[in-house]
Amino acid sequence: MKFSEIKGQQWIKEKLIKAVQNNHLAHAQLFCGEPGAPSLAMALAFATYINCTDKHDNDSCGQCPSCRKMDKLIHPDLHFAFPISSTKKITGKNVISNNFLSEWRTFISENPFGGLNEWVRHYGGENKAVNISKEESRQIIQSLALKSFEAEYKVMIIWLPEFMHPSAANGLLKILEEPPQKTLFFLVSQNEDKLLSTILSRTQHVKIAKFNNDELRSILKSKYDIAEEESAQLIQLSDGNINKALEIYNQSSLDLQDIFRAWMRICYSWDFTQIIAYAERFQSMSKADQKNLLHYGINIMHEVLMYQHARMHLSKITSKEEEFIEKFSKVLSLEKIEKISNTLEEGLYHIERNVNVKLIFTDTSFLTASAFRK
């Protein structure tokens, strides 16, 4: 992983590179960002740069033996710990990260911005609680007690340390504070509030932002070959979270734009028969599509509000969406926009809590129809 493979985050990259160039490396660093932020990718790029033998001013070379091994995640001085659970093949004290390295390398290679859900599905641990165990902490200490094999620094990357068992976290406090010589800890967290204060106090924090709309659009196009019209909808729904964007893309074959527009027209026309028919259609959708439709509707209402007040859009939208928003805004007052937005948000709340889907969409439709007529 090179810095150039991560869109944006320029000032973070410069800060990390400067720390290496000035020989001011903190031995324990916490890369923290929301789900979908390239926190793990940044930690990997930093580790690659640190041990690159032909560093450039703004990136690793990508060609030296160290960079080539880092790119394949097979460098003997690069170590990992991450949340796992038992599987059919691996149980008991064998549930440690070293026994999942093959799956881990494939996972990162295929999706360098992947999250916990994607990781668990990848190695086959669905429906089981994951953690970083006390046994894992012992393995970390043992592996770092050895001298470096090739590189100047040994690097231990702990992904999602918030999943450490309390005994594991406490077991690592001493080595985090006084690591072996030339040893670096990179903790990569999506929720630093769940970490022990004693761990937070022992690490230098590096905040990683989610991708902005332009960066996300570029990644969806260049890496996943997703067309402009599709990516515009994904960007609206994902809020900078590339994992969420890809999950929606892979799960949904629906045109949310057309479905939402037709739904609003039915509500506006006060067509009871069609409202019931659409509620049955919604019931037949996957839960992910049901949630995505409501998320999309909420975003469109925000766009309508912004268009009414500033004649501008919050995010890049398609020409078809722009036409719909302009027409929609002519029949909606501020009060109606707020009422419909709140109705959609309540519907989403109940969907996430597994309330009867047909009932939710019927109720949401009638409340929306009522809002149009006020």
Percentage of the chain beyond pLDDT 70 is 97
CA within 13 Å, CB half, 207: 1
- CA–CA separation, 371 vs 277, rounded Å? 20
- CA–CA separation, 209 vs 33, rounded Å? 6
Residue 110 has pLDDT above 70, yes or no: yes
What is the fold of 3-210? Rossmann fold (3.40.50)
Whether the pTM exceeds 0.95: the reply is no
Of the candidates 84, 72, 154, the residue with the CA atom closest to the CA atom of residue 119: 84
Tokens of 305: 């509000």
Asked if 77 and 142 count as a contact pair (C-beta separation under 8 A), the reply is no
Residue 254: band (very low, low, confident or very high) from pLDDT cuts 50, 70, 90: low
- CA–CA separation, 259 vs 186, rounded Å? 45
Count CB-CB contacts under 10 A for residue 328. Answer: 22
Q: CATH code for 252-373?
A: 1.20.272.10
Q: Where are the domains of the chain?
A: 3-210, 214-250, 252-373
Tell me, rounded to whole angstroms, the distance of Cα 164 from its chain centroid. Answer: 20
Taking residues 273-298, what's their average pLDDT? 86
Residue 311 has pLDDT above 70, yes or no: no
Residue 71 has pLDDT above 60, yes or no: yes
pLDDT in the model for residue 171: 92
Residue 313: band (very low, low, confident or very high) from pLDDT cuts 50, 70, 90: low
pLDDT in the model for residue 317: 67
Let me know the angle formed at the C-alpha of 18 by 16 and 22, rounded to the nearest 5 degrees. 125
Per the model's pLDDT, the better-predicted residue between 353 and 69 turns out to be 69
